[in-house]
Amino acid sequence: MNIPHLLLNTKATIPQFGLGTYKLEADSTAEIVTKAAHLGYRHFDTAQMYKNEAEVAAGIRASGIPREEFFVTSKLLPANNQPDKARRSFSESLERMQFDYVDLFLIHWPMPHLADADFCVTWRVLEEFYAQGLAKAIGVSNFLKHHLQRLLAETEVIPAVNQIESHPHLQLPDLHEFCAQQGILIEAWSPLARGRVFSEPVLLKIAQLLGKTPAQVTLRWALQRGDIVFPKTASPERLAENLDIFDFELSPEQMEAISGLDRGEAGRIGPHPDRMA
């Protein structure tokens, strides 16, 4: 399985497709990760908030495939958006995973309303992890344009990625364009909108025409617009189905039709980054 890789601003590459692990059951996460690895997955996304870093790492080890073949992302718990807490919790993350490094470490949420936390101050701590080689790349998650503008103005290292909610109902074209201008790749969380897009007649028609599922069409659309995607599933069948998206392409007309499904903020299913509590 030849999954495309995109070039990060660190000059390293990142697999454009992977597995999300949010809300996977802890007692089954390692087994799911191992199954995914044997199917060809090499990119796994976890977080301190998910409480499954150890299980994700255990699944990778159980696969028998060398660690260096994988790209592993984790994220800072919002409650740790302070220098000392960030340093301590990052060290604990590495200990839980039994890794010498992570491939990518993110600030999970900007949390601009917290009086005792400043994402620019926290970012400078992530710059330390990057300089030390403990995080091969650093980035942010759920940052909007105004958060990024401040970060770029006040800190040194440009984020490698911005992981945001992005799917046909919430496309955020202005944020995508801004990130592209800055050399920041977009990672799309909830790329299938938790299944809410599957009943869209546009997707159903394209899926029927191509002999694919609405999920496969949606993931293909995200890849062709340049997003990195990592849909979550615990089903072995869905693990294989989601990965089966590299033998077809959407036409420009089909891409445009799916782009017409954008609902703007009305399509958001997760918290707004400025109101995340």
Q: Catalytic amino acids?
A: 50
Q: What is the dihedral of CA 50, 55, 56, 58, to 10 degrees?
A: 160
Dmax over CA atoms of the chain, in Å, equals 54
Give the number of other CB atoms < 10 A from CB of residue 81. 24
Question: What is the secondary structure of the chain as a DSSP string?
Answer: ----EEE-TTS-EEESB-EE-TT--HHHHHHHHHHHHHHT--EEE--GGGT-HHHHHHHHHHHTS-GGG-EEEEEE-GGG-SHHHHHHHHHHHHHHHT-S-BSEEEE----TT-TT--HHHHHHHHHHHHHHTSBSSEEEES--HHHHHHHHHH-SSPPSEEEEE-BTTB--HHHHHHHHHHTPEEEEESTTGGGTTTT-HHHHHHHHHHT--HHHHHHHHHHHTT-EE--B---HHHHHHHH--SS----HHHHHHHHTT--GGGG--S--TTT--
Q: How far apart are CA 168 and CA 258, in angstroms?
A: 7
Q: How far apart are CA 222 and CA 187, in angstroms?
A: 10
